[in-house]
Amino acid sequence: MHTTLEQDLARNPHDGPAIVSSADRMSACADGFVVPGFDAVARLAAGSLQVAMVALVLNDGSAYWYSAEPGRAGTPYGLHPLYLEAARRGSAQILPDIAADARFRDTPPLTGPVPAPLRFFACEPVHTLSGRHVGALCVMDPAPRHDLDGAARATLRDAARLAGAGVVLGGYLGRTDPVTQLPHRSAFFEDLRSRQQHGAQRAWLVAIEVAPVDRFNAFVRAMGFPYADELMRAVAGRLQAWMPSDTHLYQVGVTRFAAVLPEGSPALGPVQLDQLVALLRTPFDCLGIPLTLQPGVGLLDLDVRQLQGTDPLRRVMSASHAAQHSARGWALYSRSQDERHRQEFFLVTELAAALTERTELDLHYQPRVRLEDGRCMTLEALVRWHHPTLGTVPPDQFVPLAERAGLMRTLTGWVLDHGVAQLAAWLRAGHDVGLSINVSNADFDADLVTRLQAVTTRHGVEAARLELEFTESTLLQHNDDTRRHLAAVRDLGTGIAIDDFGTGYSNLASLRQMPATCLKIDQSFVRSMDASRHDAAIVRSIAALARDLGFRVVVEGVETADIYAAVRGMACDEVQGFHVSRPLPAAAVPAWLEARHRG
């Protein structure tokens, strides 16, 4: 930690004012001045000295303007040589009448945000708190004057001192996180650019993810922001105490830190990284409440010479994010893994567009048939995505992404609307079938019943024609509210199926309490029934138990005639799988139904 603003700025090679624009350009601000307090300082100076314009000109050629005339503050103007000379000379200056000064006889008139040429000019050097000269505070007016008296000069000096404090504060705020007092992301990139300008070739970057975003948000919801702030200060202190000497630590996000190892130092070794992860996994006693984090540490060997056009922070954070989900807790940057993350982000944005703007999504329908007579009772709606450039994107690739990106409610709504519309068309054509739709964890709320009522009313389909499929693990994650929502669904007449049964962690008590009507035995047991007597025994036992509990039993993954024959000898009601039919496009369903029922 640094005790003064000046010390904080001094630790960095780029210790000049962080608030200025590029050299030889003027940065103008109308309402929100980049230099904190400059508008107030300028307003006081203009009022006390009775001048039309005030400017803070920094010695790199950047300027901030103030005019008492409404609408003219912050209007950009080219810098007259007089402004640049005043900013760089480091001493006070008073020009009662510029037009009468021989030095400026051959230069253009001095201008600013006032309509008339400026005649009177005075300036006072601006220094930081440590005495470093950074520019000049200038006052100007269209009317010439004789001079400034002692009181006026003191006023100008005081205003310049206040402007200098504002420059320091602007640089501090431009580089420092207010919670941890560490330099933040802008400072991180400034320092890397400084290394590049000083000829450095390589640098080791370290990124530290304190906790997953959703978990950190849970801290805030449960304990409040003061607790979260104190936690981040504690983490920062622990990191600073551990980091090698001369290592710069930055806070680059709410829950993220980054460090740049000293130039020429080797990368942290596996032993050091294990120690760092162990240190961060040690519980933090924060405001008397212990908390264990889920940290991730990422490393990147950066070619500083190729800094332009790259985002090293994003890349090293890709490694730290991956490390959060690994047992070891740290990882080196992997280009292939990074590309996979970028591809996933691309797919999520494309899926969002496909759901709202395009016609790339489609539904296929896989029949379920009754063992008793082979009749098709239900068609399961399965979403397909045909991307214009990527081709067919498998559901097992885009559905998990939709769940993580918060798109599942939208995706479920799309499937409901299009699937029920198609069911209505089949019913009008005389096909006596029902529709089964997969529903996700995100759809578990009181709005589920309202959505079902709306879609069935809109398409004129009885709710009893529908069945909602939830995975076993999804159902068991929920509580009494879930059961109330499901009971409301059942009151509509809609069926409820427990999908992929046998792969979760059901207990008989929770299974007995679920208001489900159907249980679908997971295909992972079914496909190997003919080769594994243990799997056959599992399927037989689950089917008998489910039948005794009053569920309709559906066996998924019936791929061969032998498995079909084996299932017929068990306590099963319906089967589904490639032996019956592969998923069909909507246009092929009527012909398949007619052929099936004729057979």
CA distance 316 to 491: 52
Between the CA atoms of 464, 469, 474 and 477, what dihedral angle is there, to the nearest 10 degrees?
Answer: 20
Residue 527 is predicted with a pLDDT of 82
The residue ranking higher by pLDDT, 447 or 80, is 447
> Which is the CATH superfamily of the domain at 185-333?
Reverse transcriptase/Diguanylate cyclase domain (3.30.70.270)
- Taking residues 419-434, report their average pLDDT: 96
Domain boundaries, the chain: 5-173, 185-333, 344-598
Of 469, 339, 349, the residue nearest 398 (C-alpha): 349
Q: Which tokens belong to 382?
A: 């399965």
pLDDT band at 309 (very low <50, low <70, confident <90, very high): low
Q: How far is CA 433 from CA 8, 526, 572, 591, in A?
A: 73, 25, 19, 14
Residue 476: pLDDT band (50, 70, 90) is low
Q: Are the beta carbons of 188 and 313 closer than 8 angstroms? A: yes
| Rg over CA atoms, the chain | 35
364 strand-pairing partners: 382, 585
Quote the pLDDT of residue 63. 80
Mean pLDDT of the region 276-298: 89
330-361 pLDDT, tens digit per residue, is 999 888 888 887 888 888 889 988 888 778 99
Dmax of the chain from CA atoms? 113
Q: Which pLDDT does position 16 carry in this prediction?
A: 31
Residue 53: is it exposed, middle or buried by C-beta count within 10 angstroms (0-12/13-18/19+)? Answer: buried
Give tens-digit pLDDT for 501-522: 766 555 566 677 778 899 998 8
Question: For residue range 360-416, what is the model confidence (pLDDT) as tens digits?
Answer: 999 999 999 999 989 999 999 999 999 888 899 999 889 988 888 888 999 999 999
Note whether 184 and 252 are within 8 A (CB). Answer: yes
129 vs 182, which has greater pLDDT?
182
Domain 5-173 has CATH 3.40.50.150: no
Pair 277, 207: CB distance under 8 Å:
no
**How many residues does this entry show for the chain?**
599
pLDDT band (50, 70, 90) for residue 48: very high
- Dist CA 378 CA 435 (whole Å): 5
Report whether pLDDT(7) > 50: no
**Distance of alpha carbon 454 from alpha carbon 228, whole angstroms:** 42
Residue-wise DSSP of 185-213: HHHHHHHHHHHHHTT--EEEEEEEE-S-H
| CA–CA separation, 296 and 210 (whole Å) | 7
The alpha carbon of residue 314 and the mean position of all alpha carbons in its chain are separated, in whole angstroms, by 12
Are 582 and 592 spatial neighbours (Cβ–Cβ below 8 Å)?
no
Q: Given this model, what pLDDT does residue 313 score?
A: 86
Output phi, psi for 534, to 5 deg: -65, -45
Confidence of residue 72 (pLDDT cuts 50, 70, 90): very low
- In this predicted model, what pLDDT tens digit does every residue of 544-564 receive, in sequence order? 988 888 899 999 999 999 899
- Amino acid code (one letter) for 245: S
What is the rounded distance in angstroms from the CA atom of residue 189 to the CA atom of residue 390? 35
Sign of CA dihedral 223, 225, 228, 233: negative
Specify the range with the lowest mean pLDDT, choosing from 30-44, 155-169, 300-314.
30-44
Fold of 344-598: TIM Barrel (3.20.20)
* Closest by CA position to 519, among listed 529, 511, 508: 511
Give CA separation, 353 vs 68, 74, 150, 385, 387, in Å.
50, 41, 68, 12, 11
Residues 6+ apart with CB under 8 A from 179: 229, 232, 233, 251
Is the pLDDT confidence value at 530 over 70? Answer: yes
- β-sheet bridge partners, residue 471: 499
Model confidence pLDDT, tens digit, residues 215-268: 888 888 888 888 888 888 899 999 988 988 888 899 888 889 999 888 777 878
Q: How far is CA 456 from CA 421, 422, 460, 490, in A?
A: 9, 12, 6, 14
The pLDDT of residue 591 is 95
Instruction: Report the pLDDT value the prediction gives residue 463, as an integer from 0 to 100.
Output: 95
Per-residue exposure over 272-287, b if at least 16 CB sit within 10 Å of its own CB, e if not:
ebeebbeebeeebebe
- On whether the CB atoms of residues 494 and 439 are closer than 8 A, the answer is no
Long-range contact set of residues 383-390: C-beta below 8 Å, sequence gap at least 24: 383/411, 383/414, 383/415, 385/351, 385/354, 385/360, 385/361, 386/360, 386/361, 386/362, 387/350, 387/354, 387/360, 388/360, 390/347, 390/350
Question: Using an 8 Å Cβ cutoff, are 416 and 455 in contact?
Answer: yes
